[in-house]
Structure 1
Amino acid sequence: MSTHATENSANGSATSSADTRIHNIGYRSYDGPRLGRAAARRALFSQSLRGAYGLGRSAKSKVLPMLLFAVMCVPALVVVAVAVFTKAPKLVMEYTQYAIFLHMVIAIFVAAQAPQSVSRDLRFRTVPLYFARPIERVDYVLAKFAAMSSALFILTASPLLILWIGSLLAKMDFADQTEMFGQGLVSVALLSLLFGGLGLVMAALTPRRGFGVAAVIATLVISYGAVTTLQGIAYGTDNISAVKWIGLFSPITLIGGVQAAFLGAPTSFPGGEGAAPGAAVGAIYLLVVLALIAGSYGVLMRRYRKVGL
């Protein structure tokens, strides 16, 4: 019995040794440079900014953002063409009026791209993978906030650049046009930070893209409709002083109030210049805008303290 057992054990060991293989699957240690958090933050910013316009994604993903960009620029081209061919002394639309006039296009862009930027990471639970790298929550929030704001600034500043170039082609005064162009850039910079922050907050509250889109539309569009309706009622009942205060409750009218108070823009409030915010009320408008931008960043930081755990 012991002889057979010894033979079977020897045969089993021989068979096991014969079947053993060592497979080299190509793992090698990394000896290159380790770029750290700054490079990771820049890469996330670049990827998010490109993604806002569908770059690096499917052809279907490029259709809506590129279409909205074209819709933003076409009116500027028409204004420039009219000014050049009629030799008009000034543009038919102020630089500071342009984004307010096309605010619906901007709101649709935010509603489409803010959920794309953050909701997919939440839905597919990829956020912890970001934090497994040399990147922290503050880096993620900063990159996403900066990318969304930059995408909006490109969307809103490009038509203003077209208007400025067209005004020079129409031989309008260089100094005046450059000053107004600068005022327009300040206005759309504030708008981009405000809309970008609010859009990301609404989108980050839910992993479902549809809910994020609805939340952004409600924040940017429905609030504007409600505020303008209330302003119209206040103006119709001769309560002119209330018009400027009601404007504090909508992102779009907030930007309109700031630029009317400090950037020489014509007001779109009912009642015209009589209802426009002065310097004192305009300062309150500006403080509210800055508080909303800072508050959006704070809410995003709080949200991502929990989501990656």
Structure 2
Amino acid sequence: MSTQTPETTRIHNIGYRNYDGARLGRAYARRSLYSQSLRGAYGLGRSAKSKVLPMILFGIMCLVAAIIVSVAIAVPNQTDLVLKYTRFAIVMQALIGLFLAAQAPQSVSRDLRFKSIPLYFSRPIERADYVLAKYAAMASALFVLTATPLLILYIGSLLAKFDFAHQTKGFAQGLVSVALFSLLFAGIGLVLAALTPRRGFGVAAVIATLTISYGAVSTLQGIAYGTDNVDAIQWLGLFSPITLIDGVQTAFLGASSAFPGGEQAAPGAAAGAVYLLVVLALIAGSYAVLMRRYRKVGL
């Protein structure tokens, strides 16, 4: 930098130097964004207030599992847990939905609101890296929330000396179920949250979508059962995320159906294949919508 005066010109060295350290590239940036987003979903590295809700919800999920285990150990002549591994997430869907509604907007809405997306893309990170990191982090956060109680149930069942092979099979089926659950719900939550930079609107959109879809489908299924139209029950289940997972795990993972009519209305192998295809299509579609969304906001 130069300073000119009538008498002379001086050049000042203000200390700028070229960076000569290691350049870690896109993979490191993607991993860092994933790690930061996953930690942020539980408030880690953020203010104490940000930790309250996710940690309370996580604690309640684990507490419920611990109570089930305690009952299994305390009650004599028990041979199995009172709640199957594949049923746990379905029963606790309200808490999981609340976690998703709170944390999906936190993951993406602030970047949209403060227009920091172009700053991410000015570094060695591309649109696909951002979307993949955010999606993987949200799915991982949901998997931790839903799989940890299953692990507590599994350990407790072994302590209660229930049949090892039966419990291991049920635990494995439960993990597959919550993995699909986490991928599906993460995609839906992030898509809804990414539609608006206002976090409050994102929270409301996620809660409304999950609640209204499940309530409407459950009501229509109840009406179909009451009018002896049992065949319609399984197809109505295609229109709600919760009932989609219920149908998949009933058809392929040995779960008991929560549909009205129970096993009579549960989807068989053919209908279960349709359920699975719809779940996979929604996961892929959510990723595609996010990619399209960030093509525009990343400019």
TM-score past 0.5 threshold: yes
TM-score interval, smaller chain: over 0.9
Q: CA deviation at 1:23?
A: 5.5
Larger Rg: 1
In structure 2, what is the equivalent of residue 100 of structure 1?
90
Residues 264-298 of structure 1: CA distance to partner in whole angstroms, max 9, x if unpaired? 10000001110000000000000000000000000
User: Which whole-Å deviations, capped at 9, do the CAs of 1:106-136 have from their partners, x for residues lacking one?
Assistant: 1000100000000000000000000000000
Mapping of residues 228-307 of structure 1, within 5 Å? 228-307=218-297
Match of 1:170 among 155, 160, 176: 160
Match of 1:32, SS state, is: coil
Deviation at 1:143, TM superposition (A): 0.2
- Paired with 2:101 and 2:43, the residues of 1 have a C-alpha distance of 15
User: In the alignment, which residue of structure 2 is the partner of 1:63?
Assistant: 52
Distance in 2, matches of 1:289 and 1:106, equals 18
In the alignment, which residue of structure 2 is the partner of 1:36?
A: 25
Deviation for aligned residue 1:13: 2.4
Q: Offset at 1:308?
A: 1.2
- Bigger drift between 87-96 and 145-154 goes to 87-96
The code of the aligned residue for 2:178 comes to: V
Q: In 1, Cα distance between the equivalents of 2:165 and 2:209?
A: 38
**Cα deviations by residue, 1:225-249 (Å, 9 ceiling, x for unpaired):** 1110110011111111111110000
Structure richer in helix, relative to its length: 1
Select 1:74's aligned residue among 41, 60, 63: 63
Do residues 85 (structure 1) and 78 (structure 2) align? no
Provide, for residues 145-189 of structure 1, a one-character-per-residue CA deviation record: whole Å limited to 9, x for no partner. Answer: 000000000000000000000000000111110000000000000
Matches of 1:170 and 1:268, distance apart in 2? 27
**Are 1:45 and 2:34 an aligned pair?**
yes
- Distance in 2, matches of 1:80 and 1:202, equals 36
Using the alignment, how far apart are the partners of 1:221 and 1:162 within structure 2? 28
Q: CA deviation at 1:73?
A: 1.0
DSSP 3-state at the match of 1:57? coil
Paired amino acid for 2:217: V
> What is the aligned counterpart of 2:141 among 144, 151, 169?
151
Pairing 1:73-222 to 2, within 5 Å after superposition: 73-87=62-76, 88-222=78-212
Corresponding position of 2:6: 13
SS in 2 for 1:54: coil
Which whole-Å deviations, capped at 9, do the CAs of 1:75-99 have from their partners, x for residues lacking one? 1000101111224211000000000
Structure 1 length-normalised TM? 0.93
Mind listing any 5+ residue stretches in structure 1 that lack a counterpart?
A: 1-11
Q: Unaligned stretches of 5+ in structure 2?
A: none
Q: CA deviation at 1:55?
A: 0.3
Q: CA–CA distance in 2 between the matches of 1:142 and 1:129? A: 17
Taking the aligned partners of 2:261 and 2:136, their CA distance within structure 1 comes to 37
Shift in Å, 1:21 = 7.2
User: CA RMSD, aligned part only?
Assistant: 1.1
Deviating 4+ runs (over 2 angstroms): 20-24
- TM-score, length-normalised on structure 2? 0.96
Aligned length: 294
Deviation at 1:22, TM superposition (A): 2.4
1:26-77 alpha-carbon deviations (Å, 9 max, x no partner): 4221111101000000000000000000000000000000011011111100
Distance 1:201 1:13 in 2: 62
Superimposed CA distance per residue, residues 208-264 of structure 1 (whole angstroms, 9 cap, x where no aligned partner): 111111111122121101110110011111111111110000000000000000001
What is the aligned partner in structure 2 of residue 6 from structure 1? none
Q: Which residue in 2 is equivalent to 1:7?
A: none
